[in-house]
Chain A
Amino acid sequence: MVEQFVIFSIGPENYGLDVAMVSSIERILPITRMPYAEDFVIGVMNLRGDIIPVIDMHRRLGMDEIEDTETSRIIIIQYEDYIVGLKVDAVSNVKYFDTDEIQPFDKISSADRNQYIDRVIYDGDDMILVPDVSGLLNIARD
């Protein structure tokens, strides 16, 4: 069994999302602030006529915010019926991993910002964190 992941970076860390969940990867588009949205939702963007909320992953993971760079991307994901854009620092790769390379993530021993991490992949010397999307999006809020 293999799983395919989109690999991207936020701050110093590498993250991975199941490709099945990723609908597209976009360059940074103008974002309109949305009143009343959670603080990590920086606003909405107009993606070819659809309105997509965008989450700043730095804010969500409690890291310092940075200016957008040439490599910044918005990963559009569909999780259940939720369609959301995640703003990340760079998207590096799409890679296959064997199921046995993917391990559960031990939350207790980890930093606060890792509370949304579900699994971890050891790729040689690199560690790729796989977030729990439901927690990341804070869907349980209502």
Chain B
Amino acid sequence: MENEQYLQMFIEETNEHLEAMNQQLLKLDQDPGDTQAINEIFRAIHTIKGMAGSMQFNKMQQLAHDVENVLDALRKGEITATPDMLDLLFQCLDVLQSQLESIASSATEGDNDFTQIIDRLYTYLPSNGQNVSAVEKSVPPSINQYVDNVVRVANEKGYTAYKIHIVLRPDCLLKSARAYIVFKTLEEFAEIIDSVPSAQDIENEKFDRDFTLTVLTKEPEQYIYERINSVSEIESVTVQELNESDDKTQKTERVQQNQQDQNKSSSGSAPVGQKASKSIRVDIERLDDFMNLASELIITRNRIEGIGVGQDNPELNEAIEYMSRLTSNLHDLVMKIRMVPIDLVFNRFPRVIRDLSRTTNKKVELVMSGNETEIDRSIVEELGDPLIHLIRNAVDHGIELPEERVKQGKPEIGTVELRAYNDGDNVVVEVKDDGEGIDIAKVARKAIEKGLADESQVEEMSDEDIISFLFQPGFSTSDVITDISGRGVGLDVVKTKIESLGGTVDVRSELGKGTRFIIRMPLTLSIIQALLVMVGSEVYAIPLNSIIEIIDVNAADIKSIRRQQEVIDFRSSLIPFVRLKQVLNVLDNQQDVHGTITTVIVRKGDKIAGFAVDALIDQEDIVIKPLGKYLSHIKSISGATILGNGQIAFILDINHLL
């Protein structure tokens, strides 16, 4: 159990450090002389190395070690950063990332071989590469020398070196785990420069009950003592200041016996790391469970509300109303907890652009804004792939080669703009490039070629309709097939993915000026406001955010075009009139009504239509239940919900019904 907990901690923290490393590498890429970035990367990789070591992920540790050597040489100015070197460092980052993923999925390192990449790292090191290593070698004599040197330098900079002797309690079960916590605690405010026995041996539990660490810190002795003492299962801690030469050390040794009696009474529950923290990590699954429970509560609330309406009991209704408010607040709160900044996906794009511009020889600048826009965690995770597709498309098909751009009077460097913002209950993400734009005529030709439409049809089509061919499976207008895009997969996958999340994709493009993809996503997935309607004897839910208005249409005002499509006049334009009863094949013995027909005017994107229903029931917060894989091919129904009485109502997917 405990090991699992450490593993989780290791994965999360290593991820953070890799992310930091990625950002700093990008900075370094912009400015190879950025010493701050170098230092940050060094720190990140150093920590990764330490953590990998303490978890016994030796391959990861080894690779981190060698990356660290290169950065150390960079830091000391012995070598300078070149684009090739950065490529390699990025590759190392990728390898570390995939290694971490393998650890996350299988808790083992797998059998990848890093020798090649490590050999390549060595080529960047100065000839005496191995000697400039900043890394603690495990050969004892050099340790002392190393420690002495470090202590001298540290003293000059105002740090004090301490030797800390720690004895674990005899009944301590997970000795290496305790030691790990001690290491972690110390690392918060001190740098550990030496350990006896070696860190490796401590991790392997190759020690009796005590170990000695040498650390550098600016914190006073008493503080170190207290911090370590707060770790449970420790019998005693001795902190001793270390001066340049060990022998002459003034002994300010203080042995303080842990108050064992006190500890025993609260066996093992002693606080670990008492630092007050304002945030905690929560497993996403627990949040999912939390949200499910909140959702079930809303269903039950709706049901009780239904019962309350039938009873003339003010006291009951007042209580129900209060409960109603509470459950809404509770739901809002869960949603807020699950919201994360969209930056979580955005932050990997600078790297994508960098790699793309190097492989395509195009000059591209990425401009991002609205990174702080928040969206439900589950949506963010799904958004990454479609966005990468669009960004690749933008660079590969959109942005022209530098010479071509100059010829056209455009700035040599192309711009890809990624923008996120809130719009009502939606989050909008735009991917915009200032490249060559979509050639409508070419798309139309291709559509005819592929047999998707014939010439006369295409002639009648609006530009937007023609552009929408791009979202057809297997449709690619690219003349050249590259390994980046243009394999005929892409836009249709993007569209399918976004729609499966309840979103929409729109394209705007101007030939020669650029293209803009607009993705519109719901803020949250699982609860929406919907209008419940009767169609025959069946109940359907229409998402409220797609409803413009509800009107009564006179049967006499319904006209038909070419005897097929019925239309009505809405705000002085003709819109399709859709009889849901027919479209949904609802069996109904009732005759068609002749007076007025209740019509729900819906909109998705630019399309507007009127849906004829038999009656309106109510507006409710409904919990979206997935239909499962077996029914996922039915596009016109996006999900189902369970009504207060346990009955199922299907949620209409406006997009597919228009």
Contacts and interface: CB of A to CB of B under 8 A. Distances in A.
B268 interface: no
A36 B638 CA distance: 12
A41 B634 CA distance: 12
Interface stretch (A14-22, A59-67, A76-84): A76-84
Interface stretch (B219-227, B519-527, B623-631): B623-631
Contacts of B625: 49-51
A142 interface: yes
A35 B636 CA distance: 9
B631 A44 contact: yes
Contacts of B239: none
Given A45-B648, A51-B648, A35 B627 contact: no
A81 B629 contact: yes
Contacts of B584: 35-36
Contacts of B634: 34-37
A12 interface: no
Given A33-B538, A35-B637, A36-B637, A51 B627 contact: yes
B118 interface: no
Given A30-B647, A33-B538, A44 B627 contact: yes
A46 B538 contact: no
Interface size, B (range): 20 to 34
B626 A51 contact: yes
Contacts of A44: 627, 631, 640, 648
B101 to A, nearest CB: 22
A14 B607 CA distance: 52
Contacts of B279: none
Contact of A82 (B626, B629, B637): B629
Nearest to A81: B629
B637 A51 contact: no
Nearest to A43: B648
B237 to A, nearest CB: 53
A32 B630 contact: no
Contacts of A49: 296, 625, 642
A51 B640 contact: yes
B633 interface: yes
Nearest to A52: B628
29 contacts: A32-B648, A32-B649, A32-B650, A35-B634, A36-B584, A36-B585, A36-B636, A37-B631, A37-B634, A41-B631, A44-B627, A44-B631, A44-B640, A46-B642, A46-B646, A49-B296, A49-B625, A49-B642, A50-B628, A51-B627, A51-B628, A51-B640, A51-B642, A51-B648, A52-B628, A53-B630, A81-B629, A82-B629, A141-B633
Ranked nearest first, the 6 interchain pairs of A and B with the lowest CB-CB distance are A32-B648, A35-B584, A82-B630, A36-B634, A51-B640, A81-B629
